Amino acid sequence: MKNQYQNKLAHLTDEEIEILIERYYNGDKNSILLKEYNIDIQSSFLLKTFPMKTHNNELCPFCNIPMFSHRKSKSSVSKEIIFCQECKHTLNDTYCKCEACIDRKNKEQEIREQEREIIDNINKNILMEEYLYDKNMPIDIEELDIRDKLYISALLRTALSEDLTDIKSLSSVLLTLAPTEEFRGKIISYLRSRKIIIFSPNTPVDSLVFNNDEIEQCRLFDTVFRLNVSQDEDDIKIENLLHLNVEENIDEELKLELWLEIGLYECVEFLYARMEEYNLPKNHIGEKTISSIKEALKEFSISQVYNFIWGASINASDFYKNSHVSKKHAVNTIAGTILRRSEKAIAENRETKKFGRDWNYPQTIISEVFFNNILKIGDEGFDSVINLKI
Ligand SMILES: [Zn+2]
Ligand SMILES: [Zn+2]
């Protein structure tokens, strides 16, 4: 069917129309063509009078008939859109909305979902097998040392489900287990490697990576775990680990080690926050900085090391702004500054001002459990130099 514009060429033969179109694309002026072919239309509408271009070499895959395209103006640079007049299918268009394409996509989607379901079911079985196997070999609660108990207690307080069975994925809980992602990952990996926590049958299978009938990896913060301590069905045991009241004589060395570990990560978290404030990249923080913080923590409280970190990050930011050095170079000065400032404070034997916690980074659960329940010294843990004489 011809449209109202195409009717304007009704007095011309097909051959004449073909030549007219050819002359149009060869650059002949519209006004000349209108006059010569006796076409009664505004010159800007000439293009609209042309019949669609037939593509005899492109058959619609659904209707098996030649496809068409609208005529483009000679100045147009847009891609030619070839379509079927019958079913509206568009050639080479991934997003074609014709009925046949939508139908095909739905079927493909359905097949994908079925395949997904089959694989998910296989993986769920692998998960269940591993769970039952691990569950048969629980860790005896008597074998747990204070590090195990601290990590478990903090993890349970952060993520234990209402019915006391599962340890929810960290990505789904609001409370913060420990300062920095590295430390959070370390805690989970540690408990998992010791089989103190095992994959819960409720963990979404897509949080796990399977290989040859085995769970090869997991996305630590998306995985649901379950406590695997002897008689883990016994709520009393869970309550004990959750509320952790340490009375027995515990390994003094290990206590110091844990204090240093928590202090170190609290300092690193504070440093990350400062760097974010000054728009400096934290991926350049390396072993050198970590070891300078550890050194400082031998002589100063966490709150005092915050002071050195605060000064060192301002220095790094000023150095970057004033000296035309790279951000990496600026960040690399932080370790040295922390070391120099702490050594100077020792040499001059003067009191270093204590900083408070950053408002945006309140004390984490592991820090609370350690200082309140294990050491029972509360904020002293943050404000005192690491030692056991308190
Ligand atoms: Zn078609
Ligand atoms: Zn289509």
| Closest listed ligand to the CA of 98 | 2
Q: What is the pLDDT of residues 379-390, one digit of tens each?
A: 999 999 998 665
Strand partners, 83: 68, 90
Mean pLDDT of 41-51: 90
Beta partners for 210? 215
Cα 45 to ligand 1 centroid, rounded to whole Å:
29
pLDDT classification of 5: cutoffs 50, 70, 90? confident
Centroid of ligand 1 to alpha carbon of 70 (angstroms):
16
Residues 69 and 28 sit within 8 Å (Cβ to Cβ): no
Q: Give 255-280 pLDDT, tens digit per residue.
A: 999 999 999 999 999 999 999 999 99
Closest CA to 305 of 363, 349, 273, 345: 345
Given a cut of 80, is residue 76 above it in pLDDT?
Answer: yes
Q: Which ligand is nearest to the CA of 92?
A: 2
CA of 65 to the centre of ligand 2 (A): 14
pLDDT band at 338 (very low <50, low <70, confident <90, very high): very high
pLDDT band with cut points at 50, 70 and 90 for residue 194 = very high
Query: What is the arrangement of strands in the sheet containing 82-83, beginning at the earlier edge strand?
Result: 53-59, 66-69, 82-83
Q: How many residues are present in the chain?
A: 390
CA of 154 to the centre of ligand 2 (A): 56
Q: What is the pLDDT of residue 247?
A: 63
Give the ligand with the smallest distance to the CA of 91: 2
C-alpha of residue 104 to centroid of ligand 1, in Å: 14
Spatial contact of 67 and 59, defined as CB atoms under 8 Å apart: yes
Q: Nearest ligand, CA of residue 58?
A: 1
- CA distances to 234, 240, 242, 299 from 152, rounded to whole Å, are 16, 11, 8, 30
CA of 75 to the centre of ligand 2 (A): 28
pLDDT at site 235: 53
Q: In which band, very low, low, confident or very high, does the pLDDT at 213 lie, cut at 50, 70 and 90?
A: confident
Where residue 212 falls among pLDDT bands split at 50, 70, 90? confident
- C-alpha 96 – ligand 2 centre gap (Å): 5
Quote the pTM value.
0.77
